[in-house]
A and B are shown apart, each in its own frame.
Chain A
Amino acid sequence: MGILTPNGYGLSEFEDALRNSISGIRFIEKLKELNFACHVGGIPVNFKERAKEYFTNEALLAMNEAMIYAGIASIDAWKDAGYEIPGENSEVNWDTGAIIGAGLGGMDTIGELVVPKVTAGKVRRMGSTIVEQTMASSVSAKVGGLLALGNQLSSNSSACNTGTEAIIDAYYRIKHGYAKQMLAGGVEGSSEFTWGGFDAMKVLNSTSNDAPEKASRPMSASSGGFIPGSGGGVMFLESLESAQKRGARIYAEIIGGSLNCGGQRMGGSMTAPNPTSVQRCIQSTVKMANIQPTEIDYINGHLTGTMADPKEVNNWSKALGLSGSQLPYINSTKSLIGHCLGAAGSIEAIGTVIQMTKGFMHKSINCEDLHEEIKPFESKVVRETINKEINIAAKASFGFGDVNGCMIFKKWKN
């Protein structure tokens, strides 16, 4: 697995940040200057410096922020899986591919280069690197070349479900025998052109600009919107047969994954989930995993810090048929890193697997004042980091377009 998030670069830093409730939300001067209502957000620290350790100057001339995140997370995941980075003239790896998506992708390139230059009638002045940075597949295309991938190479996009969807699609591809190994995940840049639309929708919390670490408040009665985050998370998925054959270290097994859409009916809309579809998605994942709901030890929620949080917790409860204290433990990684949009699902899935591997559940911060409708589940909301074995964990993401994704991980025991 490879990861960079607002509160940690790499697996061990991220684990440390989760365990010790280290928030990655900071004041961002530029947002204030540009008259955003929300002045705080999450950006991986020093990512531009970090990028120089991974890529040549020549490569960086044509890589925007999201592409850098995809490249770093993929290279780290690749090495973590036990492989060397192939040379420029290496053979193509026909059995390995990548599905790496983004919610909005190269908005920095579009906002800083394409729109100003084209509008000024200076198309020619854009140079040669625009298409490869703005095509929807920019974040996977670069990775294919870095790692000589020869199987499916594409980018998915399903808003805030993107990272989760990528993992599920890659899981299906391996399960169906079309690939042996897949890199999978999501990335998102931190451009003001990406975040501006959300600020204009008034879905970002603008009431905590003077206290950034308190701003992301999933499950809280005083949550006033989500906090934008950025970064990338990429998982290396492999068939069990292939992983065992080469003696690879296995973190966890994916035992179920489902994707659906609520049709923007029955309470669902472009921006709100149809509760029935959320429940169906969770239920079909549990069914695929061939487990009982009571076997789930832990839920890593989508839980963004909006008014959708109480609905989500109740959807989990209804879908699993477990009420009150029967609900599995639940927390929100977004409380520490904000909502990383297209990267959220994969970053949080990696967080889930880290907690599973290391036997703890991280504190969901800023929900001291639990929302009234979540109070029945109070004993299962993780409000202090606890050491606890996790054998089975569920992770879900929900996105604009009324789309849902849910996956279930099982701890690997040799």
Chain B
Amino acid sequence: MNEKEIFDKVVKILEPYVRNQDALKSIKNETNIVTDLQVNSSRLVDIILAMEDEFDIEIADEEADSVESVGAAVSLIKSKQ
């Protein structure tokens, strides 16, 4: 799976949790999940679970902590494939 495909799937996973719909329209690798998209930080747990299911990978807690931006999520997923 190339980076673009992973990116699109990550956006799809994030969508239901996003409270700032404007930020979603201009979403890019640098977009911060909590501060820009205004995802409730407690929901990061659910987003990580959804990524594990979607890409059939396992993400350790310390790895999950590094997922602050959309790009960080994409890189982490890519590194596990």
Task: Give the interface of A toward B (CB within 8 A).
Answer: 56-58, 61, 124-125, 127-129
Contacts and interface: CB of A to CB of B under 8 A. Distances in A.
A332 to B, nearest CB: 42
Contacts, number: 24
A125 B49 contact: yes
B49 A61 contact: no
A128 B17 contact: no
Interface stretch (B2-10, B37-45, B70-78): B37-45
Nearest to B49: A127
Chain B interface main SS type: helix
8 closest Cβ contacts across the A-B interface?
A: A128-B45, A127-B46, A128-B42, A57-B16, A128-B46, A58-B17, A128-B43, A127-B45
Given A125-B49, A128-B45, 14 more contacts: A57-B16, A58-B16, A58-B17, A58-B40, A61-B16, A61-B17, A61-B46, A124-B49, A127-B45, A128-B42, A128-B44, A128-B46, A129-B43, A129-B46
Contacts of B46: 61, 127-129
Interface in B29-81: 40, 42-46, 49
B28 interface: no
A219 to B, nearest CB: 48
B38 to A, nearest CB: 9
Contacts of A58: 16-19, 40, 43
A61 B42 CA distance: 12
B19 to A, nearest CB: 6
A132 B20 CA distance: 22
A61 B45 CA distance: 13
A56 B19 contact: yes
Nearest to A60: B16
Contacts of B42: 128
Best-surrounded residue of A56, A57, A58, A125 (most CB of chain B within 10 A): A58
A128 B49 CA distance: 10
A56 B24 CA distance: 15
Nearest to B18: A58
A129 B17 CA distance: 12
Contacts of B17: 58, 61
A127 B43 CA distance: 8
Contacts of A56: 19
Contacts of A127: 45-46, 49
11 contacts: A56-B19, A57-B16, A58-B16, A58-B18, A58-B19, A58-B40, A58-B43, A61-B17, A61-B43, A127-B45, A128-B46
A110 to B, nearest CB: 18
B4 to A, nearest CB: 25
B1 to A, nearest CB: 24
Nearest to B16: A57
A265 B19 CA distance: 54
A128 B46 CA distance: 6
A128 B43 CA distance: 6
Contacts of B18: 58
Contacts of A125: 49
A129 B42 CA distance: 8
Contacts of B19: 56, 58
A56 B46 CA distance: 17
A137 B28 CA distance: 39
Contacts of A129: 43, 46
A57 B19 CA distance: 9
Contacts of A57: 16
A243 to B, nearest CB: 34
Contacts of A61: 16-17, 43, 46
Nearest to B46: A127
Nearest to B50: A127
B17 to A, nearest CB: 6
